[in-house]
Each structure stands twice: as structure tokens, then as C-alpha cells.
Amino acid sequence: MSNRKAIVVGAGIAGIATAIRLAVKGYEVEVYEKNDVAGGKMYLIEKDGFTFDAGPSLFTQPSNVEELFQLAGEDISSFFTYESVPIACRYFFENGKKINAYTNAAQFAEEMRKQTGEPSEHVIQYLKDSERIYDKVGSIFLNYSLHRSSTWLHARVISAMGAVKLPYLVKTLDQFNRSRFITPEAVQIFNRYATYNGSNPYSAPGMLSLIPHLEQNQGTYYPHGGMINIPKALVALAEKKGVRFMLNTAVEKIKKDNGRISGIVVDGKFIASDLVVSNVDAYYTYKNLLSDEAGAKKILRNERSSSAFIFYWGMKREFSELHLHNIFFSESYQQEFNHLFKLKKFFHDPTIYVNITSKMESGQCPSGKENWFVMVNAPAKPQADWQEDMNALRASVVAKLSRMLSIDIAEAIEVEEVLTPNGIQSRTDSYLGSLYGTSSNSRWAAFMRHPNQSSRNQGLYFAGGSVHPGGGIPLCLKSAKIVSDLIGYLG
């Protein structure tokens, strides 16, 4: 048995992955989670025969999951299986155009040419450049701590800097995309990738053009059994490696003595540990667990990412025109983001994302019906009651979908559950319900995210969507690796 103990606060996907990595290193690991199930934002809603993945719905870079099983010396197929999805997303525009974003670049480029008139070579070149900037720059920014000199002294940094052209830094993502495409549909599709970390394409830097590489070049996948099977599989792997999960157990404080972390407090009792990894929102960690008001305020200097309203609808019929992932675009995209980030209001014509896992496998809902996950971006703002906004938003969503699908959507809804920004904050302690902690609405945002290691609290580490390298399943899993590497470096 190891004589070194690690405590992970929060059993989100990054917390579970960190626990696995530390257990493999020989640590005795305990994970404390206030909810009754591990997974963080990834959990399940079941109602009247309908099953809904409540949180993240897009699965890319399965290699991040596979790496954990390889590291642990276990066969992933005994825990988890998945399949590739040939269409990353189906896009619907108010002008009636519909576009299948095939994960085959040539096929996607031809689809764009046929449906919009965008020259196919524009799409192919954009995706090639996305791959190049991801491999040269993203591989450094996303896989290593930006707060250690060893990262910047490596020869790979020189190569990466050579790949960074001025437009990636000085242009917003929208400006960058307008310089690469001639049709509004192509610009809007590639502007959407700013929302992958809760940002505004009219403020976020052109560097975010590396994001499409994950989805369009590397592929989009579906985990059998739904997204919930990702944390389930990782928990099973962690437990096999000796990790202990304390569910329904909220951590009250992270304790330190003489500047060094000494453990946590649960139910008024002190539990000692050699190190603590917080997989809780960085703001909440400082404000509530460390009682560090100055540290919490510092985090709020950076703009929060967007939040979300999610409607979980059990539909009494099937819709052949829809796929696993579907986007119904706003006709005035820039006005929508102006409302979300500047006015902190909903726009009357929101962009709507619809995810339907029953398109991929049976058992997700009764036969002949569909399980809809319907998400609309929401502003991150303090608000005690979202009911009025929810009613207006629901009416807008129903009206827009009914118009674009030429059917009365309201009549098809058989089951309904709703998740508000307050619900997100309550379940995950994400301040204001921000899905990704801070946004990337500035050219230096990547450097402003909270580091994975505390400089003021020795033995305290951070993993998850609110810290480097960012939110979303792939980046959360990468943050776990960064933390593990930092702990390994410190011995």
C-alpha cells in the first residue's frame, strides 16, 4: 500500500481521470463527490421510458479515453465501446439550406459546394490548416502546463511559433473565417466552433480555428449506451485500480498549514492527505473551499463562458430529417452573441442544438419515438428565477423548430424536463452556470485560464473545465494528464 495519499475533490470526468492516473502512479486515492453519482456534468435523466444524457453530448478524440485504459493495463473493450459517426452535424438555415458536415473532408467540401456554392478547395484548405495549427500549436497549449518554464524552453515551441501566422492572433474568429470563405453559411458553420468553449466568435481569436480539426478531421464518435457510459467506464476502471469514491459526500474546506495543503474537512472532520486535486470550478474552490476572497475575485477578472438552457423532450414520433447532432442556426448570429455576452439577454431568434441518441441505438426511448436534448446558449449572469426567461425561450424554440421542420413541435412533446443555469450551478458548483469557467473572448485568454497547480498553496492542483487547457471532454481529460505529470515531476 502506498504511503502517499491523494484526495480528489469532485468526480467530474477530469477528477475521475486524475484519480486513475494517480492510482497507477502508486498513490492511495480517494474521490469526494457531493452528488449521488460520479460524472459531474455527465449524468442521466430517465422519465417515462425516455433516457437522456443530461450534459455533454459530443464525443471526439476517443484516444484520450483509450490512453487511460492503456496506462492502467486494462482492455478497454471490457469496459467501453464506441463507433464512428460519418456525419458530424446536420445544419439547418433559415433560408432553407441543409448541410451534412461529413467527417470525410472531400465529401464535406463537395456538400458545401453543392448546397451553398462555397468552392470545395476553400473547405479542404481550411481543414488542412486547422490540422496544421492544432498539431503545431494546439498540441503544446493543450497538453502541457503553460506555467512551467520547461514548457517554453523545449525545442517544439520554436517550431510552434513558426506556425502561428498573424491572422490567428490579430483577427477574431469571425474575421478570420470571413477571410477564408465567400458564403455566409460557411462562415457561420465555422464561427460556431467558438461555442465549444463557451465563447463569442466575434471576440474570440482566430486561433480557435484549430477546433474543427477535432471534429471534422479526427472524427465524431458515439459511445454505446450514451455519453453516461464514459464516466461509468472510467469509474469502473478507477475502482479496479483501488480508487475509493465517496459519493453524497460534500467537502467543506481544503485545509493548509504553513502554506502547504494538509487535507480536507468533511462533516466537520479533518481528513489528512499529501496532496489535493480540485475538480471543482476554480472560483468556487477559492471562495468556498479555501475561503480566499482575493483569489476568487482574481478569477472573475476574466469573462465567464456562456451557460445553457436545456430542454429534455420525449417526442411521440420520429423525425427522419434529423440526425444524431443537429443545429438550427439563428438568422442574425452576431446579434445573438451580442445579446448573450454584452446585453446578457436571450435573443428572440436563438441558435438551437438538438441531440438525439435514439438515432444511434434502441433502448433510449419507446419504439417509434425519440429522445431530444435541446440546448440553447444562455448568458452567464446572476438570476434568482429563470422562469420568465424559460417560458419566453421555450416559446421561441418551439416556434423556430416548428417553422423549420414544418410541423407543430409542441404537439409532439410527450415528456419534458428542463435544466436552467441555476440548475447547472447547483449541481456542479460552476459559478453562474458557466459551462467552461472563463471564455476565450480575448487573444490572451488561453494564458489567463487558471493554472493546474497552485503557486500559493503547495500540494494543491486543479483539473477540469474551469482551468487550463479548457472545457469539454477532450480538454478535461488532458487537464488530468497535465496534473498527473506535474505531480510526477514533483515526486
406 φ/ψ angles, rounded to the nearest 5 degrees: 55, 45
- For residue 188, what pLDDT is reported? 98
Long-range CB contact pairs, 176-179, < 8 A, 24+: 176/206, 176/209, 177/201, 177/206, 177/209
Please state, in angstroms and as integers, the Cα–Cα distance from residue 198 to each residue in 304, 376, 461, following that order.
8, 12, 23
Which stretch of 45-59, 396-410, 439-453 has the lowest confidence by average pLDDT? 439-453
Using an 8 Å Cβ cutoff, are 25 and 292 in contact? Answer: no
The arithmetic mean of pLDDT across residues 420-425, rounded, is 96
pLDDT mean over 389-411: 97
C-beta separation of 31 from 8 below 8 A: yes
Q: pLDDT tens digits, residue range 299-320?
A: 999 999 999 999 999 999 999 9
Q: What's the confidence (pLDDT) of residue 145?
A: 73
Q: What percent of the chain has pLDDT over 90?
A: 86
Distance of CA 300 to the CA centre of its chain: 20
Least confident of 159-173, 180-194, 424-438: 159-173
Q: What's the distance, Cα to Cα, between the start and end of the chain in Å? A: 17
The residue to which cell 472563463 is assigned:
438
Residues in CB range of 135: below 8 A, 6 or more apart: none
pLDDT of the residue at 137: 78
Measure the CA–CA gap between 315 and 411, rounded to whole angstroms.
Answer: 9
Q: Around 304, how many Cα atoms within 13 Å sit in the side-chain half-sphere?
A: 26
Q: Give yes or no for a cis peptide into 366 (omega within 30° of 0).
A: no
Reference 15, options 238, 300, 256, 347; nearest CA is 238
> What is the SS3 assignment for 30?
strand
> Which residues, 6 or more positions from 262, have their beta carbon under 8 angstroms from its beta carbon?
255, 256, 272, 273, 459
The CA dihedral of 219, 117, 188, 328, to the nearest 10 degrees, is -80
User: Rounded mean pLDDT of 68-93?
Assistant: 98
Beta bridge partners of 467: 450
Return the closest-CA partner of residue 358 out of 369, 374, 349, 347. Answer: 369
| Confidence at 165, pLDDT banded by 50, 70, 90 | low
Q: pLDDT class for 443, splitting at 50, 70, 90? A: confident
**b/e map 201-239, b = 16+ CB within 10 Å:** bbbbbbbbbbbbbbbbebbbbbbebbbbbbbbbbbebbe
Task: Kindly give, in sequence order, each residue whose CB lies less than 8 Å from that of residue 148, ignoring residues fewer than 6 positions away.
Answer: 486
pLDDT at 491: 45
Q: Quick: pLDDT tens for 328-369.
A: 999 999 999 999 999 999 999 999 999 999 999 999 999 999
Pairing mode of beta strands 307-315, 370-378: antiparallel
pLDDT digits (tens, 9 = 90+) for 103-121: 999 999 999 999 999 999 9
- pLDDT-based confidence at 139, cuts 50/70/90? confident
CB 185 within 8 A of CB 177: no
State the DSSP code for 192: G
pLDDT digit string, tens, across residues 230-256: 999 999 999 999 999 999 999 999 999
pLDDT at 149: 59
**What is the spatial distance between Cα 240 and Cα 242, in angstroms, rounded to a whole number?**
5
State the average pLDDT over residues 139-157.
65
pLDDT at 1: 42
- Mean pLDDT of the residues in the chain: 93
Q: Residue type at 138? A: G
DSSP conformation class of 7:
E
Predicted confidence at residue 406, as pLDDT, reads 97
- The closest alpha carbon to 481, from 18, 69, 11, belongs to 18
User: What pLDDT shows up at residue 440?
Assistant: 87
Interatomic CA distance for residues 442 and 459, integer angstroms: 31
DSSP-derived secondary structure for 334-380 = HHHHHIIIII-S--SS--EEEEEGGGT-TTSSSTT-EEEEEEEEE--
CB 145 within 8 Å of CB 467 = no
On the question of pLDDT at 64 being above 50, the answer is yes
What is the structure's pLDDT at 147? Answer: 65
Instruction: Quick: pLDDT tens for 8-54.
Output: 999 999 999 999 999 999 999 999 999 999 999 999 999 999 999 99
Q: Which of 232, 235, 228, 231 is nearest to 31 (CA)?
A: 235
| pLDDT confidence of residue 469 | 93
Q: How far is CA 477 from the centre of its chain?
A: 10
154 pLDDT tier (thresholds 50, 70, 90): low
